[in-house]
Amino acid sequence: MSPYHPPLRPTPPHSMSAVSPQTITPLGVPAVSPSPLMFPLSAEEITAQVRVALLEDEAFNDVSTVATVVSGRHVRCAIVSRRDGVISGVAMAVEAFKQLDPNISIRVDADDGTRVRGGTTVMVLSGHARGILSAERTALNYMQHLSGIASLTWKFVQAIEGTNAQILDTRKTTPGWRHLEKFAVRCGGGLNHRMDLRSGVLIKDNHLAAIGGDIATAVSRARQLALPGTPVQVECDTIDQVEAAVAAGADWVLLDNMSPERLRDAVQRCAGRCITEASGGVSLDTVRAIAETGVDRISIGALTHSAPALDLGLDFDGL
C-alpha cells in the first residue's frame, strides 16, 4: 500500500519581478483565472461570500461616506503593503470594490502568491469615491488576513529550506473561511492537510481512548468504512504507538509533541513504510530542528489560527 500524498502542491511565492501588471475592469480580465495555486471559489461563490461581508458591514448604507463625499466624485487610489510579506485574497478585494462600483477600473500589480516589500503597490483603483470608501474595510479585511497567513507560511517554508520536510496546515480555521485560509497557505508555499473530516482518516488520541487504545482495530475499521484510496493516519504520542500504527498498515503517522530525539527515532522505525508528520509546539524557533530529524511533513495550526494580519493600506491620491 503506497503512502498517500496530498494533491495540492503549490508553486513557491514569486517575486515582484516575475509578475506582469493585470488590469481588471467589468469587461476585462476576470478576478479569478486558472493558476497553480488553485483558487478555491467559483465566481458565483466569490460574489455571494463578499456580498454577505458587505451586508454585515452595512456598506450599502455607509452614512459617513454619503454625508461627506459628493456622489459624482471620481478618485484614483492604491492598496499598498506597509510591511514585507506575501499577498493573498486579491479576488475577494476586487469583488468587494466591484459590488460597490460596477464601473471601477482595477490594475493588480501583485497577484496572489507574490512576495512584496514594504511600500509596494499591490493594486491600483480608479472609480467613484463613495464606492471605494464603502468597500475599503471589507476588501482590506480579506486581504490583510489571508496575506498574513501566506506571509507566516512563507516564513516557516524559508526556515526549513534545504531539508526534505514540507509545511502543512491543519483544520484549525475560521468557520466559513477554510477554503480561503488553506488557499492562503498555498500562496505562502505550504501544503494542505485534509480539507475536512471526509477527505482523510485521522485516528486521534480520543478516538483510541474510546476503544481502549487498540490501534490495529481502529485502522482496520477505518479501512472497512472509508472509500478506497482514503489515507489513514494515526496520531502517536509514544514510540510503541508508532510501531503499532506501522504494523497495522497506517499510511501516515502523526508524531505529536515529540522531542527531536524521539522524532528521529520514530522516523527511523518507520523506515519509509509510511509518511511521518511532526505536530505540536512548532514555532519559527523550533521548526528547523524538527525538520532536520528527517520527518516528511510538519503541520502547524498557527498558520491559520494565529497568523498576524499583513499591514495593508488604501492610499488616495486626493479627493
- Strand, helix or coil at 60? helix
Q: What is the number of other CB atoms lying within 10 angstroms of the CB of residue 34? A: 7
Whether residue 155 lies in the annotated active site: no
119: left (phi over 0), alpha (psi -120 to 50) or beta: left
d(CA 228, CA 40): 25
Q: Write b or e for each residue in 196-207: b if 16 or more Cβ atoms lie within 10 A of its Cβ, otherwise e.
A: eeeebbbbeeeb
pLDDT band at 14 (very low <50, low <70, confident <90, very high): confident
pLDDT band at 1 (very low <50, low <70, confident <90, very high): very low
Active-site entry in 73, 161, 204, 214: 204
pLDDT at residue 248 greater than cutoff 70: yes
Whether residue 182 lies in the annotated active site: no
pLDDT band at 5 (very low <50, low <70, confident <90, very high): very low
Residue pair 235/244 in contact (Cβ under 8 Å)? The answer is: no
d(CA 175, CA 156): 24
Average pLDDT on 272-281 reads 94
* High-pLDDT (> 90) share of the chain, %: 83
pLDDT at residue 101 greater than cutoff 80: yes
Superfamily of domain 158-305: Aldolase class I (3.20.20.70)
pLDDT at 30: 55
Angle 239-247/260-270 helices, nearest 10 degrees? 20
Is the pTM here over 0.75, yes or no? yes
Active-site entry in 83, 107, 172, 269: 172
Domain boundaries along the sequence of the chain: 16-155+307-316, 158-305
**For the segment 132-165, what is each residue's pLDDT rounded down to a tens digit?**
999 999 999 999 999 999 999 999 999 999 999 9
Minimal CA–CA distance to 52: which of 129, 137, 115, 138? 138
Superfamily of domain 16-155+307-316: Quinolinate phosphoribosyl transferase, N-terminal domain (3.90.1170.20)
Whether residue 172 lies in the annotated active site: yes
pLDDT at residue 4 greater than cutoff 60: no
In this structure, are strands 121-128 and 201-203 parallel, antiparallel, or unpaired? unpaired
pLDDT at 37: 83
Whether residue 137 lies in the annotated active site: yes
pLDDT at residue 288 greater than cutoff 60: yes
- Name residue 233's beta-bridge partners: 202, 252
Whether residue 57 lies in the annotated active site: no
pLDDT at 18: 56
Residue pair 110/116 in contact (Cβ under 8 Å)? The answer is: yes
Cα 189 to Cα 3, 168, 256, 291, distances in angstroms: 22, 10, 23, 16
CA atoms within 13 A on the CB side of 217: 8
Q: Do domains 16-155+307-316 and 158-305 have the same CATH topology?
A: no
Q: What is the DSSP letter of 59?
A: G
Average pLDDT on 282-297 reads 97
Least confident range from 9-13, 174-178, 265-269: namely 9-13
